[in-house]
Amino acid sequence: MPDLRETLNALNNPRLIDYLRWRYAGESLLARGGAIYPCAVHRAPHDQREDVESVLGCPLDAHVPAEPLVADDALRRAIAEAGRDLANLPTYTLRELHAGPGQALNITCAMGDYFSMLDTCDALEWEIARHAPELTASDAAALRAFDARLRQRLRVHELVANPARDGRYRSVALAVSCVIAYREQEQWRLMVRRRSPHVAVHAGKLHVIPSFMVQPATAAYAEEFSLQHQIFREYLEEVFDLPESTAASDPRYFYGDARLRFLRGLLAQGKARLYFTGIAMNLFSLRPEICALLRIDSEEWSERHRHHPPTPQDRIALNAEFAQDGGISDIGLAGDEEMQAQAAITPETMVPCGAAAFWLAVDLLRELDEQ
């Protein structure tokens, strides 16, 4: 079995961007700082930005679709052989991405599971990575020949017209990349950290916090189908290392946590706001991430959680998904070049959809500051 990280590093082949632009010519790839990222970006319409739940098309189909899956378990076996922990938990999955001029930006969803996501979505990224060294030119003939080698991807394209928006025949698990931006000494700072070398995918790359799979923690699938609810739970888990309950029956089991009560108080007082900024589709895996911004205007948050925590539990303590010696501090809002210098944000160093969420948040912060 090929080495996991070495194989995935092949995704840095710059000609792969030419392939994605050719294969997904109708999608708008993220371009920033002279670089193009391997993800298509759909910005949230202005009238949806403060309605974070509007991205989740309702009602949820609480069943697993019955169609056969285009699947390959090679990546999952490679992850297991690398000693990474995997758990097959339920997921919310994309059935269709609705995007276009004059219409709401949202996703209709059903249920799936994590292993099926690995076998039908991240396996597509693995397939490209394994063949990436073979792509040595970017002319039309070379791109067509490369495309012909990607048999799993070809099968998906045979079954649906545009798998960058259509989730049939796969288990397209949703994820969220939420940027926490907080005020400190009258400056915005954005939370970005390096992922742990021990996580299953995108190990060692920069990502925003919190970033997570959209999954129910209880059997109340419909009740947990809420972007705000998911962000609240992962905020506690990733920022304060609160373990997710494996035995809770009440989906609101964490709402009594003092750290969440404090944040919800800021939101209720208008001292913080949660925004939907867009949807980023990773074109390697054909899996989407909902992008969001938690904008904390009051410096009370920084005082309480960074400088003068009233209890040890109130101090920020990132969970094991992020490297404890990540080598960067939070990024101050500035010009693009200065921010890239602070954290070396490039397509090679940052999780693709995390980069999309970061830049969408930067643009919205600047726009709101100008108002």
Span(s) in the chain for CATH 3.90.79.10: 175-370
Residue pair 102/149 in contact by the 8 Å Cβ criterion: no
Predicted local distance difference test score (pLDDT) of residue 202: 74
Predicted local distance difference test score (pLDDT) of residue 9: 85
Query: Would you say the C-alpha torsion 30, 180, 205, 342 has a positive or negative sign?
Result: positive
Architecture of the 175-370 domain: Alpha-Beta Complex (3.90)
Predicted local distance difference test score (pLDDT) of residue 245: 78
Residue pair 279/291 in contact by the 8 Å Cβ criterion: yes
Predicted local distance difference test score (pLDDT) of residue 33: 87
pTM, two decimals, is 0.95
Predicted local distance difference test score (pLDDT) of residue 200: 62
Quote the CA–CA distance of 319 and 334 in Å, as a whole number: 28
Predicted local distance difference test score (pLDDT) of residue 323: 77
Q: Per residue of the chain (371 residues), what is the pLDDT tens digit?
A: 467 777 888 899 999 999 999 999 999 999 998 999 999 999 999 999 999 999 998 889 999 999 999 999 999 998 888 887 788 999 999 999 999 888 999 999 999 999 999 999 999 999 999 999 999 999 999 999 999 999 999 999 999 999 999 999 999 999 999 999 999 999 999 999 988 877 766 778 899 999 999 999 999 999 999 999 999 999 999 999 998 877 788 999 999 999 999 999 999 999 999 999 999 999 999 999 999 999 999 999 999 999 999 999 999 999 888 877 655 678 999 999 999 888 888 898 999 999 999 999 999 999 999 98
Predicted local distance difference test score (pLDDT) of residue 2: 60
Please write down the HEC assignment for all residues of the chain: CCCHHHHHHHHHCCHHHHHHHHHCCCCCEEEECCEEEEEEEEECCHHHCCCHHHHEECCCCCCCCCCCCCCCCHHHHHHHHCCCCCCCCEEEEEEEEECCCCCCCEEEEEEEEHHHHHHHHHHHHHHHHHHHHHCCCCCHHHHHHHHHHCHHHHHHHHHCCCCCCECCCCCCECEEEEEEEEEECCEEEECEEEECCCCCCCCCCEEECCEEECCCCCCCCCCCCCHHHHHHHHHHHHHHCCCCCCCCCCCCCCCCCHHHHHHHHHHHCCCEEEEEEEEEEECCCCEEEEEEEEEECCCHHHHHHHHCCCCHHHCCCCCCCECCCCCCCCEECCCHHHHHHHHCCCCCCECHHHHHHHHHHHHHHHHHHHC
Residue appearing with tokens 């303590």: 317
Is the bond leading into 59 cis (omega within 30 degrees of zero)?
yes
Q: Of 131, 121, 122, which Cα lies nearest the Cα of 11?
A: 131
Residue pair 239/210 in contact by the 8 Å Cβ criterion: yes
